[in-house]
């Protein structure tokens, strides 16, 4: 008898295949199950978030924010100014432009005069004598402005008839301010010299200038360029129209020679002293 006797059961086992699954190879068993693949958008999001900010990037961001804020404030400021000008009347805009042109021209003339004085001092053989002459001329000019010396030159005469008694001090003050803005160099009202410290007040249905009572008609004698002075008074909504609304009659005449001879006593300052002393 052989080592393994052949029986019907043994024959059956040999004929049937082994149904147990074969063990996977060692390498395949060690590989984990792969994750599902990410789309391009998901990979982009993972790369951008959360953000990775460096110190240099933070400093640049702060500087850009400050620059943007400053530009926004500047734009807002310019917008406010533009809005104010857009709301102004046409005659007001014309008046503003004329005054700016006049002031620019006066500043340019003053600049040229100073440059001329400088050149004369530099080129003069006797600089001491030239300096003395310029000092005397400057003193004369300051005396005209201070009202301590008489003056004459081209200008205008403005007469205000006030039969209704409706003209008040503030209206005359507006006229003085308008004349000054137009380049008036010397002004006299009814025999009273107008200077930098002049004040006007209402006084018993009349007007006082620096404490001196004056009555209608109010006569302004003004030295300056007539081509600048008269238009400044006659602009729409200006001095002449305002006075005429108060039923006053205003007459403006140009002249090649206006004499302003009312004088003011030189007043010594109580506290101010020359810094050169």
What are the C-alpha distances in Å from 101 to residues 90, 98, 104? 17, 5, 5
- Reported as a single tens digit per residue, the pLDDT across 97-136 is 777 787 788 788 878 887 887 777 667 656 677 677 777 7
Buried b (16+ CB within 10 A) or exposed e, 131-163: eeeeeeeeeeeebbebbbbebebbbbebebebe
Q: pLDDT tens-digit profile of 198-229? A: 999 998 878 999 999 999 999 999 999 999 99
pLDDT of residue 192: 95
What is the distance between the alpha carbons of residues 164 and 157, in angstroms, rounded to a whole number? 22
Region 10-18 average pLDDT: 53
In this structure, are residues 178 and 228 in contact, taking their beta carbons and an 8 Å threshold? no
Is the pLDDT at 256 greater than 80, yes or no?
yes
- Please give the pLDDT value at position 271: 82
Q: What's the pLDDT tens digit per position in 46-80?
A: 666 666 667 777 777 777 888 788 777 776 666 55
The pLDDT-based confidence of 168 (bands split at 50, 70, 90) is very high
Of the two residues 19 and 268, the one the predictor is more confident about is 268
Strands 200-202 and 207-209: antiparallel
Which domains occur in the chain, in start order? 153-260 (3.30.70.1880)
Within 10 A of 76 (CB to CB), how many other CB atoms are there?
9
């Amino acid at each position: 008898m052989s080592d393994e006797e052949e029986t019907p059961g043994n024959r059956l086992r040999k004929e049937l295949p082994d149904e147990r699954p074969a063990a996977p190879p060692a390498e395949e068993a060690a590989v984990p199950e792969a994750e599902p693949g990410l789309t391009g958008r998901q990979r982009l999001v993972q790369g951008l978030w959360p953000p990775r900010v460096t110190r240099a990037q933070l400093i640049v961001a702060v500087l850009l924010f400050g620059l943007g804020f400053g530009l926004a404030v500047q734009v807002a400021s310019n917008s406010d100014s533009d809005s104010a000008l857009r709301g102004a009347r046409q005659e007001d805009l014309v008046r503003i432009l004329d005054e700016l042109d006049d002031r620019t021209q006066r500043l340019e003339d003053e600049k040229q005069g100073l440059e001329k004085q400088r050149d004369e001092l530099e080129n003069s053989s006797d600089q001491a004598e030239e300096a003395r002459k310029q000092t005397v001329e400057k003193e004369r000019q300051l005396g005209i402005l201070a009202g301590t010396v008489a003056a004459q030159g081209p200008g205008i005469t403005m007469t205000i008839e006030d039969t209704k008694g409706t003209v008040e001090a503030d209206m005359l003050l507006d006229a003085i301010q308008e004349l000054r803005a137009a380049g008036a160099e010397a002004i006299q009202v009814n025999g009273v010299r107008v200077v930098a410290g002049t004040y006007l007040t209402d006084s018993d249905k009349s007007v006082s200038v620096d404490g001196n009572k004056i009555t209608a008609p109010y006569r302004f004698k003004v030295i300056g360029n007539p081509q600048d002075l008269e238009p400044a008074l006659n602009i729409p909504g200006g001095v002449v129209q305002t006075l005429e609304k108060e039923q006053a009659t205003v007459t403006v005449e140009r002249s090649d020679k206006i004499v302003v001879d009312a004088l003011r006593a030189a007043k010594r300052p109580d506290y101010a002293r020359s810094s050169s002393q």
